[in-house]
């Protein structure tokens, strides 16, 4: 977990210091896929050294996910409901974490590699869901169309 956290710190710092190469919706999908694939590989490779490297890489992929998620929320939440959108998002994240912890607790007798593969599967399923539910894009930058009348305003993915 320490390797994952260090990787997430590095990934977050890179996103904070460098302009994003991908729009936020695509960055979220790539981050979920990278995290899921790295964790799946860690489940399959029983080497502690490989596990350390794969957990670090999973963290590097996971770090930018929070940034992309927060940018998407800020871009599409109408100003008058922005606080509720962020609070609801945080609540859903904590609820999902509690459900995941409960499921792992119930399945604690299973081999750790199988539990890790399950976690990887959830990450990859989230990436697939993100692809399926992604709003249609209107331009080369990949920014979703702004729904008329919602008060939503796109936030650019690339900082000057």
Task: Give me the residue spans of the domains in the chain.
Answer: 2-133
Q: For residues 23 and 25, what is the distance between their CA atoms, to the nearest angstrom?
A: 6
pTM: 0.79
Residue 50 tokens, joined: 């490989």
Q: For residues 15 and 1, what is the distance between their CA atoms, to the nearest angstrom?
A: 21
DSSP annotation of 143:
P
Q: For residues 7 and 63, what is the distance between their CA atoms, to the nearest angstrom?
A: 7
Give me the tens of pLDDT residue by residue for the chain, a chain 160 residues long: 899 999 999 999 998 888 778 899 899 999 999 999 999 999 999 899 999 999 999 999 999 998 898 888 888 899 999 999 999 999 998 999 999 899 989 999 999 999 999 999 999 999 999 999 876 665 545 555 555 444 445 555 444 4
Give the distance from CA 55 to its chain's centroid: 15
Q: For residues 49 and 74, what is the distance between their CA atoms, to the nearest angstrom?
A: 39
């Amino acid at each position: 977990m320490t390797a994952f956290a260090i990787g997430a710190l590095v990934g977050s710092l890179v996103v904070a210091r460098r302009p994003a190469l991908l729009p936020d919706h695509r960055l979220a999908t790539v981050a979920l896929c990278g995290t899921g694939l790295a964790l799946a590989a860690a489940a399959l490779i029983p080497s502690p050294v490989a596990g350390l490297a794969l957990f670090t890489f999973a963290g590097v992929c996971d770090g930018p996910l929070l940034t992309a998620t927060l940018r998407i929320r800020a871009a599409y939440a109408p100003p008058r409901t922005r606080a509720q959108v962020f609070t609801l998002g945080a609540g859903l994240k904590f609820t999902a974490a509690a459900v995941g912890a409960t499921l792992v607790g119930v399945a604690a007798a299973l081999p750790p590699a199988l539990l890790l593969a399950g976690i990887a599967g959830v990450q990859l399923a989230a990436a697939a869901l993100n692809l399926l539910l992604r709003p249609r894009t209107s331009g080369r930058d990949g920014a979703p169309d702004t729904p008329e009348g919602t008060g939503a305003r796109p936030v650019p993915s690339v900082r000057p």
